[in-house]
Amino acid sequence: GFLQDQAETALTRQYPDWEPPAVESVARFWRCYELAKTKENDQLSRTPSRRLDFDDLLIEAFLLLRDDARLRKQYQAMFDFVMVDETQD
């Protein structure tokens, strides 16, 4: 499928020394991971919801501030700078 092909292309570019079976396995895992985060595949809660990982949170925040002028202005008035720091527990 499309996601599998996209992942394989990206992995091949990023890791040119990887053998095709490794690329295919990681791409398949990535596809399953992304699908598991969707609302349709949420098997863990009574009320299914979309799950977000750290990268998703960054993208969603960017899109929200880019697309919602009122909210963007509100946060611009509150902060001069915003720092994003991912720490590992």
pLDDT of residue 51: 86
- Helix 69-78 and helix 54-67, axial crossing angle in degrees, nearest 10: 100
pTM of the model: 0.62
pLDDT band at 88 (very low <50, low <70, confident <90, very high): low
Q: Pull the structure tokens for residue 47.
A: 């009320």
Please tell me the predicted confidence (pLDDT) of residue 48: 77
CB atoms inside a 10 Å sphere around CB 23? 19
Please give the backbone phi and psi of residue 7, each rounded to the nearest 5 degrees, phi first: -65, -45
Distances (CA, A) of 61 to 14, 36, 77: 26, 21, 17
Cβ neighbors of 40 (< 8 A, separation 6 or more) are 48
The proportion of the chain whose per-residue pLDDT surpasses 70, expressed as a percent, equals: 93
63-78 pLDDT, tens digit each: 999 999 999 999 999 9
